[in-house]
């Protein structure tokens, strides 16, 4: 092994700056990851953002070390106890396996970028990103070849790809096209579950029976129909549950599909070598933690470490990890979920000017109140989120006696929360309201007030 490959190398500092940008993503196969990582590091190094990322990394490292200590402290008796717990739980989870439904996950290809190209065909074939110098929402496939991707700041993207074209976000446009795709989804599952503007889950079990078609045939037909209605391509995954369908839709992206049959053996074979990071819900931190504390990289290894997982994690986390190892996921009909919170936040250049901060807060309170009135909501828990100039995030909350929704009430309470933090230099303020479960009774009164005011 070359000496530079060893850990603790000081010659290549960029290797220790872990961003999310080098994570495998569709369209990024041929990318020179080393180069991308070096440029991201060079552009970030020394910034407040970078320093905060380093603090976060150190915190995670600490957490991993704590976990390693806990593992080391397990006695043989503990280990055999937790293995029994795990084996029992695996059987219980296995008993919930449902192979009777066929789920399809649709994912529009580079959605925002594709919509922008549709409305400006001269962008076709050129590297392009939707977003700004501070943040990119979506990059088209030409840009991805340079390592440019969503969630990357634009100024770094431009360094990676100097000819990159920037297009500002235009949600109205994306919502319009999203609605067109949803009309198509409706034909295959009237109760389809929209996951975002560009993603949806469909239970196509009935569609398969009605049309006497396989899941793969339905997926082909649906993608063709989406293309005809919108001029946009999408990818699809078909599998026995939502978790697996989602993984599958990523496999032949863009403009492709992958079918995982409703067969236990096929599922287990599919899941066995699958990197855990491919699973929705397992992000950068969990991947890191499971790898460094347990040596887990693939879903199969979740089962091999089942005893340790049950020993070290809460019931719900352990259940999730074991389910992943078994290739289980939800197959039930999507329940109608009411939203639990509503928020507004804005980033600005960091300042400790109190008048400015209060003005920002007033603007947010006003925007939040407008949104709440639009939705007919009122709440009694108000949360103020602050991001300091050094990127530290704090939240401060109060739960009130009565439900509120007016900008005056929001501002009155939010100001108190802000005041307690002064003096402070901030780059972001957010105001959020939640917890209106018992509040539906008040809807009529709100409507009345709303009508009275206008």
- Residue 106 bridge partners (DSSP): 200, 236
Is residue 346 a contact point for DNA (CB under 7 A)?
yes
109 belongs to the binding site for DNA (CB under 7 A): no
Q: Which residue has the tokens 């303020």?
A: 429
Q: Rule CB under 7 A: is residue 427 a binding residue for DNA?
A: yes
Among 1, 134, 168, 452, binds DNA (CB under 7 A): 134
CB 289 within 8 A of CB 60: yes
Out of 24, 151, 180, 269, the only residue in the binding site for DNA (CB under 7 A) is: 151
Does 381 bind DNA (CB under 7 A)? Our answer is yes
Binding mask 183-212 for DNA (x = CB under 7 A): ------------xxxxx-------------
Q: Which is nearer to DNA, 208 or 306 (CB)?
A: 306
Distances (CA, A) of 346 to 107, 368, 372, 428, 431: 29, 12, 17, 6, 9
Decide whether 207 or 276 has the Cβ nearer to DNA. Answer: 276
Q: Which of 246, 284, 286, 238 is nearest to 262 (CA)?
A: 238
Stretch that binds DNA, among 55-63, 91-99, 266-274, 325-333 (CB under 7 A): 55-63
Query: CA separation (Å) from 42 to 36, 37, 46, 139, 291?
Result: 10, 9, 9, 21, 27
Q: Give the phi and the psi of residue 327 in degrees, each rounded to 5.
A: 70, 30
Question: Binder to DNA among 398, 419, 444, 445 (CB under 7 A)?
Answer: 398
Catalytic residue among 116, 199, 287, 300: 199
- 264 scored as a contact of DNA (CB under 7 A): no
Q: Which of 116, 142, 287, 301 binds DNA (CB under 7 A)?
A: 287
Q: Counting contacts by CB under 7 A, is residue 281 touching DNA?
A: yes
CA distance 153 to 135: 4
| Contact region with DNA (CB under 7 A), list: 56-64, 224-232, 234-242, 355-363 | 56-64
Q: Which two tokens stand for residue 297?
A: 């990289």
- Under the binding rule (CB under 7 A), the answer on residue 341 touching DNA is yes
Q: Which is nearer to DNA, 154 or 216 (CB)?
A: 154
Minimum Å gap between C-beta 405 and DNA is 14
Residue 409 in the binding site for DNA (CB under 7 A)? no
29-48 residues in contact with DNA (CB under 7 A) are 40, 43-44, 47-48
Q: Which is nearer to DNA, 208 or 279 (CB)?
A: 279
Q: Point out which span in 86-94, 227-235, 281-289, 295-303 binds DNA (CB under 7 A).
A: 281-289
Nearest CA to 409 out of 356, 345, 362 is that of 362
Does residue 166 touch DNA according to CB under 7 A? Answer: no
Triad 359, 362, 363: Cα angle to 5°: 90
Count of residues that interact with DNA, criterion CB under 7 A: 68
Among 97, 264, 330, 396, binds DNA (CB under 7 A): 396
- The least distance separating DNA from the CB of residue 210, rounded to whole angstroms, comes to 28
Pairing of strands 165-167, 128-131: parallel
49 binds DNA, rule: CB under 7 A: yes
Cβ count near 370 (within 10 Å): 13
Sign of CA dihedral 117, 121, 122, 127: positive
Check binding of 180 to DNA (CB under 7 A): no
Among 12, 35, 56, 126, binds DNA (CB under 7 A): 56
Among positions 37, 178, 235, 344, the unique one binding DNA when judged by CB under 7 A: 344
Closest approach, Cβ 211 to DNA, in A, equals 27
Across the beta sheet with 426-434, the strand order is: 341-351, 426-434, 379-388, 393-404
Q: Is position 199 annotated as part of the catalytic site? A: yes
Judged by the rule CB under 7 A, the positions of this chain that interact with DNA are 40, 43-44, 47-50, 56, 59-60, 63, 133-135, 137, 150-156, 195-199, 246, 279-287, 313-317, 337, 339-347, 349, 380-381, 393-399, 427-428, 430, 432, 434-435
Q: List the catalytic residues.
A: 199
């Amino acid at each position: 092994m070359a000496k530079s490959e060893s850990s603790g190398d000081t010659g290549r500092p960029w290797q220790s700056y872990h961003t999310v940008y080098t994570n495998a993503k569709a369209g990024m196969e041929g990318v020179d990851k080393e180069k991308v990582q070096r440029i991201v590091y060079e552009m970030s190094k020394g910034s407040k953002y970078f320093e905060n990322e380093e603090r976060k990394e150190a915190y995670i490292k600490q957490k991993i070390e704590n976990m390693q200590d806990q593992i080391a402290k397990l006695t043989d008796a503990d280990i055999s106890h937790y293995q029994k717990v795990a084996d029992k739980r695996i059987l219980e989870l296995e008993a919930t396996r449902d192979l009777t439904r066929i789920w399809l996950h649709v994912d529009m290809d580079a959605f925002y970028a594709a919509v922008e190209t549709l409305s400006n065909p001269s962008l076709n074939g050129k590297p392009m990103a939707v977003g700004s110098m501070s943040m990119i929402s979506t990059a088209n496939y030409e840009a991805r070849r340079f390592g440019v991707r969503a969630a990357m700041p634009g100024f770094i993207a431009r360094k990676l790809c100097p000819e990159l074209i920037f297009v500002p976000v235009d949600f109205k446009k994306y919502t319009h096209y999203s609605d067109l795709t949803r009309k198509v989804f409706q034909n295959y599952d009237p109760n389809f579950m929209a996951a975002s503007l560009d993603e949806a889950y469909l239970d196509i079990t009935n569609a398969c029976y009605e049309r006497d078609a396989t899941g793969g045939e339905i997926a082909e037909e649906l993608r063709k129909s989406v293309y005809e209605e919108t001029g946009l391509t999408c990818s699809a995954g078909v599998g026995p549950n939502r978790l697996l369908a989602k993984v599958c839709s990523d496999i032949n992206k863009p403009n492709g599909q992958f079918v995982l049959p409703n067969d236990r053996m096929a599922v287990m074979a599919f899941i066995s070598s699958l990197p855990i990071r491919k699973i929705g819900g397992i992000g950068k931190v969990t991947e890191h933690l499971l790898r460094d504390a347990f040596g887990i990289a693939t879903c199969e290894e979740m089962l091999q470490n089942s005893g340790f997982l049950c020993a070290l994690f809460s019931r719900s986390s352990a259940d999730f990890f074991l389910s992943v190892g078994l290739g289980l996921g939800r197959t039930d009909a999507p329940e109608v979920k009411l939203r639990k919170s509503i928020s507004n936040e804005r980033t600005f250049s960091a300042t400790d000017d109190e008048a400015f901060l209060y003005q920002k807060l007033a603007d947010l309170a006003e925007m939040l109140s407008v949104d709440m009135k639009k939705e007919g909501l009122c709440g009694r828990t108000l949360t103020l989120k602050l991001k300091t100039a050094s990127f530290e995030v704090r939240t401060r909350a109060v739960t009130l006696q009565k439900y509120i929704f007016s900008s005056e009430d929001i501002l009155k309470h939010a100001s108190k929360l802000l005041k307690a933090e002064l003096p402070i230099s901030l780059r972001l303020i957010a105001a959020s309201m939640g917890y209106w479960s018992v509040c539906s009774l008040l809807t009529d009164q709100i409507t009345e007030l709303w009508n009275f005011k206008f």
